Structure 1
Amino acid sequence: MGNLSGLLVFLLTVYSVNSLKCYVCSSTPSNEHCNRNAEECQAPLDTCMTTVDILGEVKAIVKQCSSLRTCAGAAGTASLDASGNGNEVTCCSSHLCNFSTAPTIQLCTWLLSLPLCLLILLIKQDG
C-alpha cells in the first residue's frame, strides 16, 4: 500500500510541476506564423486548442492554452459546410502538440485522467 501511495504522490507532483506548453497565436493566416511563439499554460488551462476559421481561400488560425472543458465544447460545435467554410477546433494535451492544424490531432484524455484513475485505485484499496 505504501508503494502505491508514494507512486500516486510522485505522479501528481510531476503532473502539476511540468505544466503544458502550447503554441499561441491570434488570427494568423498561416500555421508557420502561429508556430513562432510558445507559451507555458497556467493552471487551470490544461489543453492546447487550435481553431481554424475558413471562408473560401481565407484561413484564420488561432492557437491558445485552454481548459479541457472549453476546448471539448468548442470542438463539439465546430463544423464545416459543404463548401468547406466554417471552423475546425482541435484539442491536445502534450507539450507543443498543436504544431499542426490538421484535424487528425486527437485529445489524449487518458493522459489527463491518469492521476484521477490512480486516485480511484488508491481509494478502492483502502476500502
Structure 2
Amino acid sequence: MGTLGDLERGVMDVLWDADEALTAYDIKDAIDADRGRDMAATTVLTVLSRLEKKGFVAPDKSVRPHRYRAVGSRAEHQAELMHEVLGDAGDRTAVLARFVGGVSAEEAAYLRDLLARAS
C-alpha cells in the first residue's frame, strides 16, 4: 500500500473512524470541520480515486452518490509501514533495538507476550 500524503491521510482518517461507507461530501464535511477550511468536493473525489488505485478504498458505485469505505484498518496500515521501514533498513537489528528502546514497560511486556504467542 505505501505511505499517504497529507490529504490522503486526512481522507483515510475520516474513513477509518467511520462506522459505514461515506460519500465524498460526507468526507469533505468531516475534513472541513476538522481543518477549519472549505475543501472542494472535486479535490476529495480526486484523492478518493488515487486511494482506490493504491488499494486503500473500495467504492460502491451501485448507488448515487457513490460511497467509499476503507479496505483495511488503520492498525493494518501502520503495521505495514513498520514492515516497510524494516525492509528498507540496512541494519534491521539496530532499527529494532532503537524501537524497543523507546517503548514503555507496559508496551514491552505486551511485545514479549505477542512474541511468545507467535513462537
TM range (shorter): under 0.3
Structure whose residues are more often strand by fraction: 1
Structure whose residues are more often helix by fraction: 2
